[in-house]
Amino acid sequence: MSEQHRIQVHPIPAFKDNYIWALRSGSRVAIVDPGDARPVLDYLAREALELVAILATHHHADHVGGVADLKRGRDIPVYGPKNEPISTLTRPVASGDRVAIPEFGVAFEVLDIPGHTRAHIAYYGSKMVFCGDTLFACGCGRVFEGTPPQLHASLAKLAALPEDTLVYCGHEYTLANIRFARAVEPGNVALAGRERTDTTTREKNHPTLPTTIGLEKATNPFLRCAQPEVAQAAARRRGTDVTDPVEVFTAIREWKNTF
């Protein structure tokens, strides 16, 4: 068995609905998007783990607010987007760069996925993608610093990954996203099934993540803008014909903002 198959990924809940992701191999751990140091420090102590790297997807405080405290007294690399204002980064990266975690025998490819923020990145490797606030389970991030066409292109980039890629997002927004998705595509049978499954999961207070690229392509309206039912929903919303997938995306992203 190769080294990379021994990586385990655990969620560390933070704030109201954030997930900080812990990548573990033996007693070592890398942390993705530590918005808060406290739950991570508790986790390290409880599990007797050594922190070896921090990876950030974008500059929002709920993803990087804990970096300074985690770094204190530790000589560890902090990876994050080159073109965003994150003062705690030691290894700024962008598309085409690779992030190796030698302790784990794994390397992630960096993908530029702007739209939610100006230079948001994802980390892709070992059949996993950590995509912060760009792609959510059955939804996507808000457009804060980029444009809807940019976010649409970034989601298309993620959708092009292999269908069995595990998707680790920054928040537990799934049930609210599914309610919106059902309004867009009431006839989507896979989506109805997902609503039942994920509702049961949340009733047990379990995370609905990770999801997969395949499930997102089947149920996430923001990845389905070329589907006639999604285009029709966008047209109803706009009160005019909408067929271009980027326009469809723009219309349903706006709709979701006030749903």
Catalytic annotation, pick one of 33, 58, 112, 120: 58
| Active-site position among 59, 116, 120, 152 | 116
Binders of Fe ion in range 157-216 (CB under 5 A) = 170
Interface with Zn ion includes 60 (CB under 5 A)? Answer: yes
Asked if residue 252 lies in contact with residue 184, where contact means CB atoms within 8 angstroms, the answer is yes
For Fe ion, which stretch binds (CB under 5 A), given 9-17, 39-47, 126-134, 173-181?
126-134
Compare residues 170 and 234 and give the one whose CB is closer to Zn ion: 170
116 noted as active-site residue: yes
Minimum distance of Fe ion from residue 57's CB (angstroms): 9
Specify whether 17 is catalytic: no
CA–CA separation, 212 vs 166, rounded Å?
Answer: 5
Amino acid at 53: A
**Residue 33 C-beta: closest distance to Zn ion, Å:** 9
Question: Stretches 57-65, 105-113, 224-232, 237-245: which one binds Zn ion (CB under 5 A)?
Answer: 57-65
Map the footprint of Zn ion across residues 120-159, applying CB under 5 A: 133
Asked whether position 33 contacts Zn ion by CB under 5 A, the answer is: no
Question: For residues 156-173, b (16+ Cβ closer than 10 Å) or e, as one string?
Answer: ebbbebeeebebbbbbbb
Work out whether 139 is an interface residue with Fe ion (CB under 5 A): no
Residues in 167-206 that interact with Zn ion by CB under 5 A? none
Tell me, yes or no, if 152 is annotated catalytic: no
Least distance in angstroms from the C-beta of 117 to Zn ion: 6
Beta strand spans in 86-181 (E) = 91-93, 98-101, 106-112, 121-125, 128-132, 135-136, 139-140, 166-169
Interior angle at CA 237, CA 257 and CA 179, nearest 5: 50
Q: Shortest approach of Fe ion to residue 88 CB, angstroms?
A: 17
CA distance 210 to 17: 14
Q: Is 198 a catalytic residue?
A: no
**203: which 2 tokens?**
């009733």
Query: Using an 8 Å Cβ cutoff, are 104 and 82 in contact?
Result: no
Q: Which of 36, 84, 133, 185 binds Fe ion (CB under 5 A)?
A: 133
Residue 5 bears catalytic tag: no
> Measured between alpha carbons, how far is 113 from 167 in angstroms, rounded to an integer?
14
Contact between residue 215 and residue 133 where contact means Cβ atoms under 8 Å apart: no
Binding mask 55-74 for Fe ion (x = CB under 5 A): -------x------------
Find which of Fe ion, Zn ion, none residue 120 binds, CB within 5 to 8 Å per kind.
none
Amino acid identity of residue 48, one-letter, is A
Q: Sort strands 128-132 and 135-136 into parallel, antiparallel or unpaired.
A: unpaired
Q: Is 60 a catalytic residue?
A: yes
Stretch that binds Fe ion, among 42-50, 54-62, 100-108, 155-163 (CB under 5 A): 54-62
Q: Is 120 a catalytic residue?
A: no
Kind plus residue range of the DSSP H or E element containing 81 = strand 78-81
| Catalytic residue list | 58, 60, 62-63, 116, 133, 171
Contact positions vs Fe ion (CB under 5 A): 62, 133, 170
